[in-house]
Chains A and B, each alone.
Chain A
Amino acid sequence: MLTKETLVVAAIKHGTVIDHIPAGKAMRITHILGLYCHQKQISIGINLPSNILGRKDLIKVEDRELSAEEVNQIAIVAPDATISIVRDFEITKKFKIVLPDVIESIVQCTNQQCITNHESIETVFFVEQQRKMPRLRCKYCNQLTDLPDIQKFRVFS
C-alpha cells in the first residue's frame, strides 16, 4: 500500500536524478540526452504529484553522472529542472538547469525554407536573452523563434 513515504520511482545508488520536469516531457528529454543508448537502468516517472509543479516527470539514470553542459541542452523543454548527482544513495551535488548560449542539433528550424530542413545539416541556434522570453536565432536562415513556438524536435535513431 502506498504511503506518503513511499517512493514511486526507486532510489538509485550512483547516478543522476533529473527532477521537476514538466509533466509529459520526460520521454523527449530521454531522446535529447541520448539516454536510450545507456546500458544501465533508467527509471522514468510520468505525471507524478509535485508540490511545486502540481504534476511532474522524473528521470533517474543509474551509473552515469551527467554534466551541466550536457543537461543544459534540455533547458528549452524543462527550464526549471533540477539535477542531483547521487553517490552511495547520497546526493553529493545539486544544480539547476541553465539555458545555454548555443543549442545544437535538438531543435528543428520552423522556417520551411531553411536549408536545414532540406539537407543533412545539424541545426545550430543562438539563444538570445535580451527580452523576458528567450528566443532562438537559427545560425543559417537567421529566423528568430520564441521558445513556446518550437514545435518540432529532431529525433535521433
Chain B
Amino acid sequence: MITETTFLSRDLITIDSLSKDDIIQILDVAAELKSNPQPNLLQGQILASCFFEPSTRTRLSFEAAMHRLGGSVIGFSEGDITSTKKGESLKDSMKMMEYYSDIIVIRHPLAGSAQCAADTVSIPVVNAGDGSNEHPTQTLLDLFTIRECYGSLDELSIAMVGDLKHGRTVHSLARACQHFNIRLFFVSPASLEMPKYVCDELREKGVKYSFHHTLEEVLPRVDILYMTRIQEERFPSRESYEQVKDAIALTPELLKQGKDQLKVLHPLPRLSEIPCSIDSTPHAHYFQQAENGLYVRQALLVLLLRRELC
C-alpha cells in the first residue's frame, strides 16, 4: 500500500492544479483500493455532500466512497431545500459546513463556486462540478478507466464527441491530456465546438487536436470514443436545443469502422447519442467507467484526509 502522500488538506478545484505525478498517484491509490478495499481508513470522518444541482452518479459515488471507507456523510442533494432559498450566500453555507464536517464536496450551477468555497473554509474542498467550468473528479475517473483499458495513458488517440462547448467533462479531460502525449479529435456540431480558450491552452501545451463534424472521420483512428450528451439545460431555448440534439449519434454499424480494441466511454447520463444496442458490444465501457468513480473518489478522500495510507 502506498505510504507517502502530499495531498493532505489540499483542495481539488481544477484539473490544472494536479501535476502529472499527482494524477498518477491518485490513479495508483484508486487501483489499490479497487483490488484491496479498506473499510476503516476514514472511520470517524465526515463528508459534507453539498449538491446545489442535480446529480446521480457523482453524488452517490462520493457518498458510497465515504461510507465504504468507514466514514459518514451529511448534506443535501438540491439547493432548494437549503437556506440558499432564503437568500443565504454560498460563503455562509460553506462556513457552516466547515463546522460540521472534515471535507466538503460541492456541485453548484455557477462557475467558480468551488473556488469560492475553498477560499472560505480551512477543510479540503472537492469540486464536483461548478457550472460549465470544471469537473476534475470525472476527469480522474476517465483517466483511470482509459489506463485500465490500455495499461497506459501515453500515445493514445481520443475522440471527444457531442456538446464540447458546454461539457465541463471534456474541458477538464482535454486539459489533462497535456501530461500524456494524447492526440485529440473533437467531433461536434459547428455550434457546439470546443471553446477557443480551451483550444488556446491545448496549443500552448503542445497538445495536437483537430475539429470534425462526423464520427466517420475519426472512428478508424482512435482508441477511445468519449461520447457526451447534448446538454439541454445549457441552451437558451428548447428550439435551439432541438436543432442539434440528434446531430451525432453512435450506431453498431458505425462502430464496425473502429479499431477492434476501441472503447466507448460516456460520463452519463446518456440519451440518444448512445443507443442501448451498443451496450452489448465489446466496445461499450461506460458502465465500468461509472463504477470506477467509486474507487477514484475513494482515493481522493483518502489522500486529502490522511497523511499515511497504511
Contacts and interface: CB of A to CB of B under 8 A. Distances in A.
A12 B105 CA distance: 57
Interface stretch (A31-39, A48-56, A59-67, A113-121): A113-121
A148 to B, nearest CB: 16
Contacts of A116: 112
A143 B134 CA distance: 11
Contacts of B112: 114-116, 138-142
Closest 6 CB pairs of A and B: A140-B112, A141-B111, A115-B112, A141-B112, A115-B110, A115-B113
Given A115-B90, A130-B204, A140 B132 contact: no
A144 interface: yes
B111 A142 contact: yes
Given A141-B133, A142-B111, A121 B197 contact: no
A114 B115 contact: no
B115 A140 contact: yes
B134 A113 contact: no
Interface string B63-91: 00000000000000000000000000111
Nearest to A138: B112
Nearest to A144: B197
8 contacts: A113-B109, A114-B110, A118-B110, A130-B204, A139-B115, A141-B130, A143-B197, A144-B200
Decide if the interface of chain A is mainly helix, strand, loop or mixed: loop
Interface of B: 14, 89-91, 108-113, 115-116, 130-134, 197, 200, 204
Nearest to A111: B111
Given A139-B115, A140-B116, A141-B131, A113 B197 contact: no
With a 10 A CB-CB cut-off, give which of A115, A119, A139, A141 has the most chain B CB atoms. Answer: A115
Contacts of A114: 110-112
A116 to B, nearest CB: 6
Contacts of A130: 204
A5 B113 CA distance: 57
Given A141-B133, A143-B197, A115 B204 contact: no
Interface string A116-132: 10111100000000100
Contact of B89 (A113, A120, A143, A144): A120
A100 B306 CA distance: 38
A143 B90 contact: no
Nearest to B109: A113
B140 to A, nearest CB: 18
Contacts of B130: 115, 141
Nearest to A116: B112
A143 B204 contact: no
B131 A113 contact: yes
